[in-house]
Structure 1
Amino acid sequence: MLRGIFDGDAELYERARPRYPAGLVEELAGQAGLGRGSRVLEIAPGTGQLTVPLARTGSTLTGVELGPALAAVARRNLAPYPRAHVEVAEFEAWALPPKPYDLVVCATAFHWLDPAVRVPRMREALRPGGTLAVVTTEHVAGGSAEFWVEVQGCYERWDPDATEPGLRLPAESAVHSDTGELDRADGLGPVTVRRFARDITYTADQYIDVLRTYSGHRALDDPTRDGLLGCVRALIEGTYGGVIVKRYLHELITASAR
Structure 2
Amino acid sequence: MKPTNKFTGKAQHYEAGRPSYAQALLDSVYTNYGLTSQSVIADIGSGTGKLTKQLLQRGSRVIAVEPNDDMRNTAQQELQQYTTLQIVKGSDAATTLPNESVDAITVAQAFHWFDPTAFQKECARILKPKGRVFLIWNMRDEKAAINKETYAIFKKYCPDFYGFSGGIQQEDASIATFFNNNFVVEKYPNPLYFTKETFLQRCLSGSYSLKKGDPQFEAYINELTGLFEKFAINDVVEVSNDSVAYIGTPF
TM-score, with structure 1 as normaliser: 0.81
Work out the number of aligned pairs and report it.
Answer: 244
Q: Does 1:176 align with 2:171?
A: yes
Q: Greater CA deviation, 45-54 or 74-83? A: 74-83
Q: Sequence identity, in percent? A: 21
Counterpart CA distance in 2 for 1:216 and 1:21 is 25
TM-score, with structure 2 as normaliser: 0.83
2:130 corresponds in structure 1 to 129
User: Cα distance, 1:74 vs. partner?
Assistant: 1.6
Q: Does 1:12 align with 2:13?
A: yes
* Compared CA separation, residues 98 and 137, structure 1 to 2 (3 A): same
Q: Report if aligned partners of 2:185, 2:245 keep a CA contact under 8 Å in 1.
A: yes
Larger-gyration structure (1/2): 1
Counterpart CA distance in 2 for 1:157 and 1:177 is 25
Counterpart CA distance in 2 for 1:64 and 1:126 is 14
Aligned partner of residue 74 in structure 2, secondary structure: helix
User: Cα distance, 1:79 vs. partner?
Assistant: 2.4
Q: Summarize deviations over 1:203-228 as a string: whole Å, max 9, x none.
A: 22221110100011147971223322
Unmatched runs of 5 consecutive residues or more in structure 2: 164-168
Determine which of 238, 245, 251 is the counterpart of 1:245: 238
Matches within 5 A, 1:111-130: 111-130=112-131
1:63 corresponds in structure 2 to 64
Q: Does 1:195 align with 2:187?
A: yes
* Compared CA separation, residues 149 and 19, structure 1 to 2 (3 A): closer
Q: Does 1:45 align with 2:41?
A: no
Unmatched runs of 5 consecutive residues or more in structure 1: 168-173
What is the RMSD of the two structures over their aligned residues, measured on CA atoms? Answer: 3.0
Determine which of 196, 204, 217 is the counterpart of 2:196: 204
Aligned partner of residue 35 in structure 2, secondary structure: coil
Q: Report if aligned partners of 1:62, 1:87 keep a CA contact under 8 Å in 2.
A: yes
* Compared CA separation, residues 131 and 230, structure 1 to 2 (3 A): same
Aligned partner of residue 117 in structure 1, secondary structure: helix
* Compared CA separation, residues 107 and 151, structure 1 to 2 (3 A): closer
* Compared CA separation, residues 254 and 157, structure 1 to 2 (3 A): closer
Q: Report if aligned partners of 1:5, 1:215 keep a CA contact under 8 Å in 2.
A: yes
